Amino acid sequence: MATSSQLLWIIVPVYNEADNFPALYKEITTKIKTPHKIVVVYDYDEDNTVPVVKKQQKSDKRLILHKNTRGRGVLNAILSGFDYVKSGPMLVTMADLSDELDVVDTMYDLHQKGADIVCGSRYMKGGKQIGGPLLKRSLSRIAGVSLKWIRGFPTHDVTNNFKLYDKSVIDDIEIESSGGFEVATEITVKAFNQHKKIEQVPSTWRDRTAGESNFKLWRWLPSYLRWYFKALF
């Protein structure tokens, strides 16, 4: 249950994001007015993001470096971030600057008004998706919009990882995902089936301009389809 003046925990999985992190840090600190802490989750000590974060930590105690305790990979990094947070709202965003963060304060306000999950939505009115592989964009849009209209999902964008969760929602769900970013779909589907309150805000996603994407469409597609069909039927 949301209470006033809760701290927002921003979970950022990283994998060699030294080129992107300074710009991400600037985006967070200039666009997010909500009181927050930033949990940077990394897999191994040699990750080139680590020294960049350590340097910034000297002037900003809101930055937390947290080593992935569940094993390597983006899924385990996200779950390790969830483990670190004990209560309150948690925002997941990537270090590649793909998510425009000017909607985060609105997402936080919706959580404070009782939302258990607030979804950034590329496919509702006002949302955008710029760049990225055509097949990936098309499948994601079809999944989100069809669940909205067929099942009455409260979001047009079930697959987007740019979401704010209340910690209690994660505690109430047995997460079964074994691959990557499909965990956001699983959580949203299970929360919907548990009648949790889910809201959405229009958001913009842009393809990364530096570094290499860790998204593996063909490896993870069966897992996405698993949760899509569980939601549909």
User: Can you give the residue range of the structural domain that contains 132?
Assistant: 8-232
**Is residue 180 in some structural domain?**
yes
Answer yes or no: is pLDDT of 149 > 50: yes
Task: Check whether 198 has a pLDDT greater than 50.
Answer: yes
pLDDT digits (tens, 9 = 90+) for 104-121: 999 999 999 999 999 999
Give the separation between CA 146 and CA 65, rounded to whole angstroms: 39
In this structure, the chain runs to a length of 233
Cα–Cα distance, 46 to 49 (Å, whole number): 8
Residue 3 lies inside a defined structural domain of this protein: no
Amino acid at 208: R
Within-domain flag for 79: yes
Q: How far is CA 179 from CA 11, 77, 217, 220, 228, in A?
A: 18, 12, 11, 6, 15
Q: Is residue 101 part of a domain?
A: yes
The β-bridge partners of 171 are none
Domains identified in the chain, total number: 1
Question: Which helix (DSSP H) or strand (DSSP E) does residue 64 occupy?
Answer: strand 63-67
Distance between CA atoms of residues 73 and 80, nearest Å: 10
> What pLDDT is stored for residue 1 in this prediction?
47
DSSP letter for each residue of 28-51: HHHH--S-EEEEEEESSTT-THHH
Report yes or no: 40 and 121 within 8 Å, Cβ to Cβ: no
More confident call, 4 vs 28: 28
Beta-sheet pairing, 89-92 with 163-166: antiparallel
**For residue 121, what are the CA distances in angstroms to 14, 118, 201, 203?**
22, 9, 6, 5
Residue 158, domain member (yes or no): yes
- Report yes or no on 1 lying in a domain: no
pTM of structure: 0.87
Find the CATH number of the domain harbouring 221. 3.90.550.10
| 89 occurs within a structural domain | yes
- Establish if 26 belongs to a structural domain: yes
